[in-house]
Every structure is written in C-alpha cells, then in structure tokens.
Structure 1
Amino acid sequence: MNGAGNAFIVLDRRDASGPAAYGESGIAALLDVHPFDQLIVLDPSSDADADLRVWNRDGGEVGACGNGTRAAAWLLFEDGAKPQLSFTSSGGPMRAQRLSDGAAEVDLGPARLDWRDIPLSLPMDTMRLDFGVNLPDGGRLEGPGAVSMGNPHVVFAVDDVLALPLAEIGPCIEHDPLFPDRVNAGFAQVRDRDDIRLKVFERGAGLTLACGTGACAALVALHRQGLVNREAVIEADGGKLPVRWDTEGHVHLSGPVVLERELDLRGL
C-alpha cells in the first residue's frame, strides 16, 4: 500500500496467536519481494481493535507511523470494520475514523513537547532548539522545533525546501549526539498560514515521498513558532496531507491511500 506515496507492506496478523518480530534479515527478505519504506504489522490486542507495530527498511522498530496507520485503518474499514477504530502501539494509543469520502483520519494522540519526550540528550527549549546544521554552500539552518509524535522529529522552517541538499545534511541531523534515539528531520516551507511544503529525511529510511508523523510534527512545531494556524494542508512529494492540532493537544492526520497489490509472503 501507499499513503501519499509513502510505501508500506501491511501484514494483517490479527488471527495469529502471538506477536511477530522482524530483524534486519527478515526486512531484507521482504525488500527482495517489494520495495517499501515501512513494514506495518497488525497483531491481536485485548485493549483495541489491533496492535500496530512498525519497522523501518533498515530493520529498526519505531513507535509510530502516521501514513502507515492511515493505510492500516483504511484496510480494516474496507474489510468491514466499524467506522471508529482503536490501535495500541509502542508509541501510545491511536484512534481512527472513516470520513464521509471514505478516507481514514487517524488521531495520533497528543504531541509531546518536553525535551525528555523527544528525547534530547540535554535539557533544551523544544519550541526552538539551540541546534543547527551547516550547509555545503556556507549557509546554516538553525532553531528547529522538536516534537515527538511517538517518534522523534525536528522541523526547520526554510525559505525554499527544494533548494536544500537534504540527502547530504539529513544523515548529519539524524545521527547528531543531541538525539540519542536518532531523529527524523523535517524541512518546511510556509507558503501561507494553512499551506506548507514539506520534505522529511526519515531515520532509518532516508528521503521518502511523504511522512505522516513528520507532517504532524511540522504543523505543531510551526504553530508553536507562530508561523501557521492549528490546521493546514501539508504538501509532500507524494500528495497532500490535511493535518489539525486540536485544542486538547491531539494531532489528526488524513490523506490519500492506495492499495497497490496483495503479496504472498509465505515462506519468508
């Protein structure tokens, strides 16, 4: 499946007897079958409609994936699930609802803003970090906001996102010692208070066509800096993602989903 171009394998194991686990070798075997950014696995849950786990293409398990959760919710809606769903995950509980146009909107829970929640390696104001990265042309990006959406993000407000050498600077940010769990690096160009152009260098995946939690983090970080409203459309390379940060602090994400094909993964 894909959500705004963000590619997934979604494995529905709700009728299984125990949770699955994937390491680098298992992920590599799946990549031989079909290229993807994240593996989404649905396991049975006693507290929700399903337990949702996420692995990046490098074999690392992560706490949240916004577009992957949308894709999983859409799949369950198409399978006859009730129009309101709940998921448990290592990043916290999440809920989903089916919209009138058939799309799935997910409530990824509250944005986490304390430096320990990101996490950072030292105390710092997450609204505007005392952190920056040098550009190859001699310029510098500074003062990103930091947000955890169940996974860590920093978001730089930039003048022209398409002019940046993201493949060069992304790994430097991802692996900086300030971020002990590594970090997803977002680069957001504010075109209007409800219109944002975004690219994200994802930890463990690199540049992808879209990042759902990155879109959520961008809205929260930019709103905290006074640059955008609490609701906006985030345009990624793969499509547009409507995001809203409600007054109770929860962040909601919707957008397009495509079921590409079904895979036979027996024997892997």
Structure 2
Amino acid sequence: MKIKAYKMDGLGNDFVIIDAREKNVELNKDQIVKICDRNFIGCDQLIIIQKNQKTDASLIFYNSDGSISGACGNGTRCIAEFINKENNKETIVLTTSSGNLSSKILGKKMVSTEIGIPKTKWQEIPLSKEMDTKNLNIKILDNNKEEFFGGTSVNVGNPHVIFFVNDLTNFDISKIGPELETSNLFPEKCNVTIAQKINDRHLKVNVWERGAGLTKACGTAACATAYASKINNLTNDETDIEFTSGILSISIDKKDSIHMKGPVSDIQEINFEI
C-alpha cells in the first residue's frame, strides 16, 4: 500500500500524519508500529485525520507501540496548523476521544490549544484503588538509591503521574518511567513526569510517555505538570514547562481549563509503501 503522509513536530515531539478525509486508510497494529519505528519512518505518534461534519476534523492518535492514545496536545497543535494552511481560519476545532479541542493560530508557527478541565478523582485517572491523587506516596529511587516518596496524578485526556524533586538530574526517567507506566496502580497505564521547580513561573521536566517511551516533549504532560504544580502551591496560573528542546507555556483560566501554547514545525510531505 502506497501512502502519502506528512511529518511535523512540536518541540521535537514528532508525528507522522495521514490525511484520511478524502480516502479512508486502514492500518493494522503491525503497520502502525512499523511506521513509527525509527528504522523505517519514525515518530512518537501516528495521527490519522478524518472528516467531521461538525468540526474542522476528527483525529485518532496512535502511540509508537500501536496502542491508541486518548490525547496528544502537541499533535493537536500541529494538526491545527496543518488545517489552517487549507482554510486560513484563526480558530480550529478538532474532535478527539477526549472531546472537541479548540486551537488558536497565533502566527509565526505558534499555536495555542485549550486542553480542558483536568480530572483528579481516583476513578477518573483511573487508579486501581481509592487513593489521595494529590500525593500517591509512591516510592521511587534516585541515582544514589535514595528513596523519594510522592506523585500527584492528573488526567488531561490521558493519565499522568508527576513527581516534584529538588534535582532533576538525580533521577533516571528511563528507569522510573517504564516501571510506573505498567504499575498495577494504573490499569490504563500512565505517563510519568519528573519535575523540578526553577522559580514561581518555571518548571523543568523529563517525561516518559505512555506507549511511546522517552520523548523530547509531551504536551499533555506539560499541562498535567502545570496543574499538579498549582494544586501543590509550587506555581500559579501561568507556568513555563521546559523540555530538553524548548518551552511550552501553560495557563489555567478561571474555569480551571488548561491552555497550552508553543511552536510547531514546518509541514514535510513524505511518501512510502507499507
């Protein structure tokens, strides 16, 4: 099967995009995994764009392991820019499994997306048992094998757990992430973030993404981290979340809805056979 597709990224969080609005594209799990494999095309997530009569388009997100992702903030921002190139609308509304997400095209490859009101009840994360989601009291080990207890859990269309530590470099997300992602506590798995407060408006993070592993940036992790930081009284309503490749700016409005602003890349057309 010959496929015309596109590549985009938001702060290095990269995507293969297949536009199936005019012609349906059916892929099995093995084909999705192959497309995402960096020895073939390579990406953090595969995005399928589908026609929607009520909004600008519908999106399906697939992780690199072939599983479906409930939400993808950076991917949504990229598709908003992609569709803006067609219709030149300043506001793009996209339907996802997490609901309709509205994005504003700010120009100069900057896009802001409203992710919505986060969920914090244990059943909403979901957790396998009732717990205080503000402090799960999970034990992780730093690089010196010292124990650290914490973890705030938030659902922003997908489940997240965030640890706030004094020194980000003292924790290996590549070891901590996969262990917690598949923990029995998270029946739908989870995204794992280690965060360090730089100042009242700035957090630095490392992220292990559910179904994708280590990633240069994760939009929903930025949103979940900013909200978790606010409820833990570390930051306020506006926070810059710094990844290795740049910054996403997160704001929380009076309705408790989260907005994410950041850059997107140029659109690169690719063609391949699968």
Q: Mark yes or no: TM-score above 0.5.
A: yes
Partner of 2:112: 105
Q: How does 1:154-169 map to 2 (within 5 A)?
A: 154-169=161-176
Partner of 2:160: 153
Deviation per CA, 1:158-210, whole angstroms, max 9, x where unpaired? Answer: 11112211111111111111000111000111111111101111111111110
3-state SS of the aligned residue for 1:156? strand
3-state SS of the aligned residue for 2:42? coil
Q: Report deviation, 1:24.
A: 3.0
User: Which of 218, 223, 226 is equivalent to 2:225?
Assistant: 218
User: Which of 134, 139, 142 is equivalent to 1:132?
Assistant: 139
1:28 aligns with 2:34: yes
Separation of aligned partners in 1, 2:143 and 2:109: 45
Separation of aligned partners in 2, 1:76 and 1:112: 29
1:230 aligns with 2:229: no
Measured at CA, do residues 119 and 40 of structure 1 come closer, stay the same or move farther in structure 2, by a change above 3 Å?
A: same
Q: How does 1:167-206 map to 2 (within 5 A)?
A: 167-206=174-213
3-state SS of the aligned residue for 1:112? coil
Separation of aligned partners in 1, 2:121 and 2:27: 30
Q: Report deviation, 1:101.
A: 4.3
User: Which of 12, 15, 19 is equivalent to 1:8?
Assistant: 15
Separation of aligned partners in 1, 2:109 and 2:9: 16
Partner of 1:88: 95
Q: Report deviation, 1:48.
A: 1.3
Partner of 2:252: 245
How many pairs does the alignment contain?
Answer: 266
Unaligned runs of 5+ in 2: 1-7
Residues 22, 55 of structure 1: 8 Å contact kept: no
Residues 115, 123 of structure 1: 8 Å contact kept: yes
Q: How does 1:36-55 map to 2 (within 5 A)?
A: 36-55=43-62
Q: Report deviation, 1:139.
A: 1.4
Calculate percent identity across the aligned residue pairs: 34
Separation of aligned partners in 2, 1:216 and 1:144: 15
Q: Report deviation, 1:230.
A: 1.1
Separation of aligned partners in 2, 1:84 and 1:221: 28
Separation of aligned partners in 2, 1:9 and 1:74: 14
Partner of 1:79: 86
Unaligned runs of 5+ in 1: none
Separation of aligned partners in 1, 2:184 and 2:132: 17
3-state SS of the aligned residue for 1:255? strand
Residues 111, 251 of structure 1: 8 Å contact kept: yes
Measured at CA, do residues 21 and 148 of structure 1 come closer, stay the same or move farther in structure 2, by a change above 3 Å?
A: farther
Structure in which a larger fraction of residues adopt strand: 2
Separation of aligned partners in 2, 1:121 and 1:53: 26
Structure-2-length-normalised TM-score: 0.91
Residues 32, 62 of structure 2: 8 Å contact kept: no
Separation of aligned partners in 1, 2:148 and 2:50: 41
Partner of 1:116: 123
Residues 135, 169 of structure 1: 8 Å contact kept: no
Q: Report deviation, 1:28.
A: 1.1
Separation of aligned partners in 1, 2:251 and 2:211: 26
